[in-house]
Amino acid sequence: MPAVINVSGVRYRWPGQRGFGIAIDSLELEQGTCTLLIGPSGSGKSTLLALLAGICAPQQGRIEILGTDIARLSASARDGFRAEHIGVVFQMFNLLPYGSVIANVVLPLSFAPARRARAASERSIEDEARRLLARLGIADEIARSGSASELSVGQQQRVAAARALIGTPEIVIADEPTSALDADSREQFLALLFAEVKARGATLLLVSHDRELAPLFDRVLRLDEVATPMAEVAA
């Protein structure tokens, strides 16, 4: 299968934080695979995901996503690329607290016309949002009423996942999406997430510190196999 993510020679330090950065010499993810990236808290997992999602750009190196080197794009161009092609489940969810559940799910489509067209290809956009929410365990009465601020933490995680999946992005990136779930809910959530991703031929990269998730994935990587702390890299 072709690589949809291809990273080489990347060096990144957070601005104003000379003591923290990472180096990624090489990373490839193939189309349609579900990959688990394991690393302890504070090791740079979220930084790596921010680079892959184009939230920040490296000082050196290439980050090719679907054949486009997003490291060469402007910040606004990276935002547009991410909206069209990458669904992100953020660690802190990043939901609009006073927006409705449906409004939160469909939010990325406001910035991604092609993704919006895909979401509306078989049913209305709101119906597609409700379908995804139902698949992820959010009852229709919750989806139709109330705001995101009224949801439990576990429900917020499911809404964040539905937002990442809507409109069939080619890549889904998830940062600790099961951290607020018990063991039974976690396995059910992941089974549904895998089913939605695989049904669309998407590529999933999920980051966690939980090694018990490893048997569920096609591929498992340790962060220290992928990235090196910049303190250990020659300037």
Write phi, then psi, for 57 (nearest 5 degrees): -120, 140
Question: Predicted confidence band at 93 (pLDDT cuts at 50, 70, 90)?
Answer: confident
pLDDT digit string, tens, across residues 2-44: 899 999 999 998 887 565 789 999 999 999 999 999 988 777 8
| Global pTM value | 0.91
Query: Which domain CATH number covers 24?
Result: 3.40.50.300
pLDDT of residue 18: 62
Contact yes or no for 139/197 (Cβ under 8 A)? no
pLDDT of residue 179: 79
What type of residue is 101?
V
SS3 188: helix
CA angle 40, 43, 48 (to 5 degrees): 115
- Domain count along the chain: 1
pLDDT of residue 51: 96
What is the rounded distance in angstroms from the CA atom of residue 134 to the CA atom of residue 142?
Answer: 10
pLDDT of residue 154: 85
Q: What is the mean pLDDT of residues 93-114?
A: 93
Written in H, E and C, the secondary structure of 119-142 is: HCCCCCHHHHHHHHHHHCCCCHHH
What is the rounded distance in angstroms from the CA atom of residue 98 to the CA atom of residue 147?
Answer: 5
Domain that holds residue 159: 3-232
Q: What is the mean pLDDT of residues 161-176?
A: 94
Which residues are bridge partners to 30 per DSSP?
Answer: 3
